[in-house]
Amino acid sequence: MAVEAAVARRIKIVDYGREIEEEIAKLEELISKIEALTARYPARWLAVKLLENDSEVKEKIGAIPGRAEILRQAEASMAHLRNIFGDEAETVIADRRYGLISGLAKRVLRKPAVERLTTSDRIDKIVTNRVLGIPIFLGVMWLVFQFVACSGPYSDWLDGVLSGPIARWGVAILNLVGLGGTWVESLWTDGIVAGLGGVMVFIPLLFFLYFCLAILEDCGYMARIAFVMDRLMKALGLHGKSFLPMIIGFGCTVPATYATRTMREWKDRIVTGQVLSLMSCGARLPVYTLFAAAFFPDNPGLFILALYLFGIFWAIVMAKLFRSTIFAGGERAPFVLELPPYRMPTLKGVLIHM
């Protein structure tokens, strides 16, 4: 009796709303014409999975004759829903599905009268807010760059030590062994000290920058930055994780390029890596300062800011162009990110993240 009742019971079908249901119906109609598919899978399930851009389902359909029309309709339906909702179809479908689950859970679960929010939840209500999230992030990055600017005296001190005592001690040793005034002395002063010193003077700047980024990572805020910027990056044709390498690119392009390895989709990695060179790294700042003092002595700060914004603008334009032409199409990896709870950064954690 119980078995018969269970068999006779109808399966609950999720109603995704009129716009999505219309696109599901179009795909169902095409899928139902192919017996090889309907014999193995429910047509509605395949239609929903195609709208969710499921790669495994696409692969299964790709081996079936007559697949081209179904896949074309799926792409058209996803584009149509993206224009309506301003978001990917897979995200909207997931929201509707979880909305139904939440509604059912509220009907059957008993919860305390007052829901307790953790400290992390309270902070996230402000930090990840749609309106306040980006201004707060800009404020945090302003503080980071203010702190990085404190590395100037240390860079000057290191440059003075390398070009002063270190260079003189090396020349003195070469004079003692009879190599003073030879090509060896030129190699030491003009090659090793000047060449290696020109690189080492950036160590304090990079140390201060990565120290700040490590603190943001260890306290849990770095994950929130990627979450807040995901929607903007997606509109520009980039992945949400692209924003972190772009921020690192203000310090140095080389580690920023390494940071693109955290992205799963190869097209996102290549496009992000290509536009990183347009971000103004720390090595360009002395050149910007020189030009500002020479050509715009009245407003040097405004000129330097304009150069930074000019680079960001062209990075956005080129990313959009790459994603629309050379690297168009392909699977857009969903941005799934676990937000860790906030915690006080520790010295061990900061050193690990550096």
Query: Per-domain residue ranges for the chain?
Result: 13-108, 221-338
Q: Is the pLDDT of residue 69 over 60?
A: yes
The three-state secondary structure class of 204 is helix
What was the pLDDT predicted at 1?
A: 45
The larger pLDDT score, comparing residue 59 to residue 20, is at 20
Percent of the chain beyond pLDDT 90? 0
Q: How confident is the model at residue 10 (pLDDT cuts 50, 70, 90)?
A: low
pLDDT digits (tens, 9 = 90+) for 276-325: 888 887 677 777 777 777 787 777 767 777 788 888 888 888 888 887 88
Top CATH class of 13-108 equals mainly alpha
Q: Diameter of the chain by CA atoms?
A: 106
The beta-strand segments (E) located in the chain are: none
What pTM was estimated for this model as a whole?
0.52
Q: What's phi and psi for 30, nearest 5 deg?
A: -70, -40
Task: Give the CA distances from residue 38 to residues 43, 47, 50, 57, 78, in Å, rounded to whole numbers and listed in that order.
Answer: 6, 11, 15, 13, 22
pLDDT digits (tens, 9 = 90+) for 180-227: 777 877 787 777 877 777 777 777 777 877 788 788 888 888 778 777
> Across all residues in the chain, what is the average pLDDT?
78
Between CA 119 and CA 33 the distance in angstroms is 54
